[in-house]
Amino acid sequence: MVRVQKIPTLKQTYTGYAAKLMLEDGTVFDGTGFGYPSGIAGEVVFNTGMVGYTETLTDPSYRGQILCLTYPLVGNYGVPSYDIKDEYGLPKFFESDRIQVKGLIIHDLSDIASHWSCIKTLDQWLYEEKMPGIYNIDTRELTKKLRKHGVMMGAIVVSEKAINESLLKKMLASAKYEGLNFMPEVSTKGAQEYGDKGKDCVVVLDTGVKYSIIRNIMRTGYRVVRLPWNATYEQTMSYNPKGVVISNGPGDPKVCTNTIKTASKLINMSTPTLGICLGNQILALAGGANTYKLRFGHRGQNKPCVNLRNNQVYVTSQNHGYGIDPKSLDKTGFKVWFSNADDNTVEGFEHKSKPIIAVQFHPEASPGPYDCMFVFDRFREIIANGMRDETDPEEAAQLQSVKKTTTKPLKKFVINKKNRREKDRQEMKQ
């Protein structure tokens, strides 16, 4: 006899509080509080993804930020257990060991949570980790404001009593995100090893690494040694790694001076290196390029990027607020590998002769589409065979697939997107 497990149905518990969100321009959103009654301030950003809030909230790249989820209904599938592990012994549904955002903003919190894996509701999870949340606010209006004016500092207060707005103003007056170094908060304190010690090693410089990055390095056949963000080149190479990965993470890449110094040595010594997200920016700075802050960043699971090696568009998962100045790459030895089809920002680069590649998006996804998992496989090929000018076999196969439908529609798509953006800019000026 087959016995089917009953799917749990859990109800909200830590909700119904008074709550306010105030932005640095003075805009106030009144809503309903959930999670842990408290007050926090941080940079307010938005993510357009429809699913994956457990992965999103535990992404270390959100450190220091208040996150607004644009998808209106959140919390309906609850929160699973950290004890559910994958084949590598890593938590299957989380990207770190804790919630990383400072606060959460959503439109509608589901009254109940029901899923075979859920053991608690979203409001209970936030309460246990002492994080405030606010719902019943117009997240569409908030997102439109952030898109128009750029990300802003904001403050949230969740309370069992009436809230005095002077408290939020006081919190905003001392709030800061720019120039802060979040590395001591998100990086490992010492070396950690994952996988079979009999396998070749890849070192991860942990500037806020997600578990899924470690998972995908192990998937390609390596064990992982995770080192602190400020590990020196000599400390990194003492493990005799086949390659080095510089991970994702929060904040301005220019504050990661120790990592930039190590990355510069990796470039000079032609060590096989892969940069992801913040690691992409760090490698660019180490090679002599420059970075800048985007107006409202790229955060979502449907960001189109063009692979300039085969002219194919991939749907990517992204979470970053800084980008690389494309003109600054001219004298670095790097060339653009991926370009964003929405705004033409640099989404990846590769060295012209050295075994060094980097991507701004998240090839590991989690959450999001798995279209770009091949980045890890290409890194494995680079470790084994070095850089090659010709398109690698997987990209060649993808190129043939694209050619069957012709590449002209892809180019037309990108050109039309550019023309529409220019038209929107002109309308905004008027």
**pLDDT tens sequence across 230-253:** 999 999 999 999 999 999 999 999
Is residue 201 within 8 Å of 225, Cβ to Cβ?
Answer: yes
Domain with CATH 3.40.50.880 in the chain: 183-404
Domain with CATH 3.50.30.20 in the chain: 9-173
* pLDDT score for 426: 58
362 in active site: yes
Mean pLDDT of 359-380: 97
pLDDT band at 175 (very low <50, low <70, confident <90, very high): very high
pLDDT band at 2 (very low <50, low <70, confident <90, very high): confident
Does the structural domain 9-173 have CATH classification 2.115.10.20? no
Which one is catalytic: 118, 277, 305, 372?
A: 277
Which one is catalytic: 256, 364, 372, 381?
A: 364
Is pLDDT at 403 greater than 90 in this prediction? Answer: no
Which one is catalytic: 256, 362, 372, 381?
A: 362
H or E element: which one contains 15?
A: strand 15-23
* pLDDT score for 395: 54
Is pLDDT at 396 greater than 60 in this prediction? Answer: no
Instruction: Tell me which residue of 46, 47, 45 sits closest to 368, measured CA to CA.
Output: 47
Is pLDDT at 73 greater than 90 in this prediction? Answer: yes
277 in active site: yes
Judged on CB neighbours under 10 Å (0-12, 13-18, 19+), 423 is: exposed
List helix spans (H) across 107-225.
122-128, 139-149, 165-173, 183-186, 211-219
Is residue 305 within 8 Å of 361, Cβ to Cβ?
Answer: yes
Does the structural domain 183-404 have CATH classification 3.40.50.880? yes
141 in active site: no
Please report, rounded to a whole number, the percentage of residues in the chain having pLDDT higher than 90. Answer: 87
* pLDDT score for 399: 42
Q: Decide: helix, strand or coil at residue 338.
A: strand
* pLDDT score for 148: 96
pLDDT band at 413 (very low <50, low <70, confident <90, very high): very low
Mean confidence (pLDDT) of the chain: 92
Give the DSSP letter of residue 198. Answer: T
Say what the pTM is.
0.89
**CA–CA distances in Å: residue 315 to residues 90, 154, 340:** 26, 30, 10
